[in-house]
Amino acid sequence: MTSKKKEKKKHKKQQLADLADRHQLYELSVQYAASEIEFVDETYKSIRGNKALLLREDFCGTANVCCEWVRHRKGNRAIGVDLDKDVLTWGQEHKLSDLSMGQRKRINLIEENVLQVETEAPDIISAMNFSYWLFKERKDLKQYFTRVRQALAEGGIFFLDAYGGYDSFRELEEERDINDGEFTYIWEQERYDPVTGGLICHIHFAFPDGSRLDRAFSYDWRLWTLPEIRDLLEETGFSKVTIYWQGWDEDGEPDGIFVPATTGEADAGWICYISAEK
């Protein structure tokens, strides 16, 4: 094969990865904003007896959840907070642009540190996709939880998620085909340090033409356990902390239904929601 043909073949193999948008791939494979919003909305109403109107999404990224919140009910308003200007710009160009003019007016995106931001007091503050794990020191996570409690409206609720299980402490790769093989989502836990709890993870995407988008997203976290998270929330003054555990369907797969739980199973991997009431 001539060098020109080799170069042409190489270019063809890289084409799908070159054309891919990492934020769109993430939303297709990781973030289910509609189900997330449904959970926090219904849980807030079941606890407080009324509907939440103002939601603040910390570490909001592309503001996908903010957009889903204002779509969910007329009158809902959202505040999105993130330090990354580029990702906020992407969200404005690709997510907010899909909203009506009225819906866009009900979203306020703020480029600022969640430890310093001052906002109107929301009914709900959301920190999902384990985003708060970037605080690797106990004092820093405690400071964030304290700030959240202070920022919430009276009777407000803080929602967050966590994952764990014995596989979470391993260095591994897991693959999952998305959209009937349109692309493959690859979750890599590159390194776990049992002394510090430090966890380095990456998301890669692979395509049918053989091309890859490696390290589309990388995370430098601490793997916080549920008892640690619950203890810190209680220490910072939240009146009640509830863990919501996911059930299983008849095929042994997660059923997507999260219910309050005081105990859980020692599974290889699990994801849960947490609510902390002001």
User: Is the pLDDT score of 248 beyond 80?
Assistant: no
Q: Could you tell me the strand order of the sheet in which 54-58 lies?
A: 107-111, 77-82, 54-58, 124-127, 157-164, 270-277, 240-248, 254-261
Whole-structure pTM value: 0.91
CA distances from 144 to 133, 137, 177 (A): 11, 11, 36
- In which residue are the tokens 């220490």 written? 235
Look at the chain and count its residues. Answer: 278
Q: Average pLDDT over the chain, rounded to whole? A: 92
Rounded CA-CA distance 35/258 in Å is 11
Rounded CA-CA distance 57/39 in Å is 14
User: Is the pLDDT score of 252 beyond 90?
Assistant: no
CA distances from 103 to 89, 106, 247 (A): 17, 5, 34
The pLDDT of residue 256: 79
At residue 254 the predicted structure's pLDDT band, cuts being 50, 70 and 90, is confident
User: Is the pLDDT score of 4 beyond 70?
Assistant: no
Structure tokens at 161: 């998620």
φ, ψ for residue 137, nearest 5 deg: -105, 140
Start-to-end CA distance of the chain, whole Å, equals 68
The pLDDT of residue 257: 85
The pLDDT of residue 1: 52
pLDDT digits over 22-62, tens only?
Answer: 999 998 998 788 999 999 999 999 999 999 999 999 999 99
Give percent of the chain above pLDDT 90. Answer: 82
The torsion angle over the Cα atoms of residues 274, 188, 208 and 62, rounded to 10 degrees, is: 40
At residue 7 the predicted structure's pLDDT band, cuts being 50, 70 and 90, is low
User: Is the pLDDT score of 91 beyond 70?
Assistant: yes
Rounded CA-CA distance 124/10 in Å is 49
β partners of residue 198: 222
At 144, the amino acid letter reads Y
pLDDT digits over 193-223, tens only?
Answer: 999 999 999 999 999 999 999 999 999 999 9
pLDDT digits over 104-123, tens only?
Answer: 999 999 999 999 999 999 99
Q: Mean pLDDT, to the nearest integer, of 170-188?
A: 94
Nearest to 270 by CA among 240, 249, 245, 252: 245
The pLDDT of residue 239: 97
The pLDDT of residue 6: 52
197: CB partners within 8 A, 6+ apart:
136, 222, 223, 224
At residue 166 the predicted structure's pLDDT band, cuts being 50, 70 and 90, is very high
- Opening angle at CA 79, ends 73 and 82, nearest 5: 135
